[in-house]
Amino acid sequence: MSRLLLNCDIGESFGHWTMGLDAEVMPYIDCANIACGFHAGDPSIMRKTVSLALSHGVQIGAHPAYQDLVGFGRRSMAYTAQELQDLLHYQIGALDGICRAQGARVSYVKPHGAMYNDMMANPAQLRAVIQAVATYDRQLPLMLMATRDNSAAQLMGDEYGVTLWFEAFADRAYDSAGHLVSRQLPGAVHHDPEKIIQQALTIARGDNLVASDGSALHLQANTLCVHGDNASSVAAVQRIREALNQQSAP
């Protein structure tokens, strides 16, 4: 059983507005994808979230997005490749500065929302994102979606010397190509905790999932995205952590 890192989008509060149960979910994850102020978060939230991650020994990842607070970064926006790289450098640098003030550094990058989806659908945009990471710090891994065939993305990462961490989801349905089923379709999101835990273990073992059309789907993933939006999701993360620990124990 491979060591599957649990990652969670976190630090997405803003001012006096709170989103997510960051303190409750942090003890169970390996990687914290911290919002960098463009879709959520602000300097104080970033500082507090970095401190919380450090107190639990959790890796800190930059979670950059399109400049869209109102839309929570979930709306596609038109940027040139250079503008996209500027957005990434600005946000990674902001979080990295807050980390450095606490004796730490950003450990990886995971784009958020529409930026993440758009780079998976558009090879030119994926290239711009990979190039942005490479020019900021080639040692930073880039997190992106695991699909049925990761080879094209892997070749692009190799071209720029950027390590890729392929990400899977325990609570989402997949189509036959290994893409997430649209949230607009029934059954796209799993709500049954037992089903979520079983999907997490299936991915960790490297076994096949069942795609939405009934076909077998193999996902080669390094990390699993989990959520801490509410008490039930935190409980599910805790159970996933316990199940993964039991499965990987000698």
Neighbours of 126 (CB within 10 A): 20
pLDDT of amino acid 214: 94
The ranges of the chain with pLDDT < 50 are 1
Q: Are strands 164-169 and 223-226 parallel, antiparallel or unpaired?
A: parallel
Q: What is the CATH number of domain 5-170+222-227?
A: 3.20.20.370
Which of helix, strand or coil describes residue 143? strand
Q: Are 134 and 156 in contact (CB under 8 A)?
A: no
Nearest to 126 by CA among 107, 106, 152: 152
Rounded CA gap, 102 and 124, in Å? 36
As to burial, measured by CB atoms within 10 angstroms (0-12 exposed, 13-18 middle, 19+ buried), residue 224 is buried
DSSP 161-192: T--EEEEEESSB-B-TTSPBPPTTSTTSB---
Token pair 């929570």 is at which residue? Answer: 72
pLDDT in tens, 68-81: 999 999 999 999 99
Q: Where are the domains of the chain?
A: 5-170+222-227
Per DSSP bridges, beta strands 216-217 and 209-210 are: antiparallel
Segment 18-76, tens digit of pLDDT: 999 999 999 999 999 999 999 999 999 999 999 999 999 999 999 999 999 999 999 99
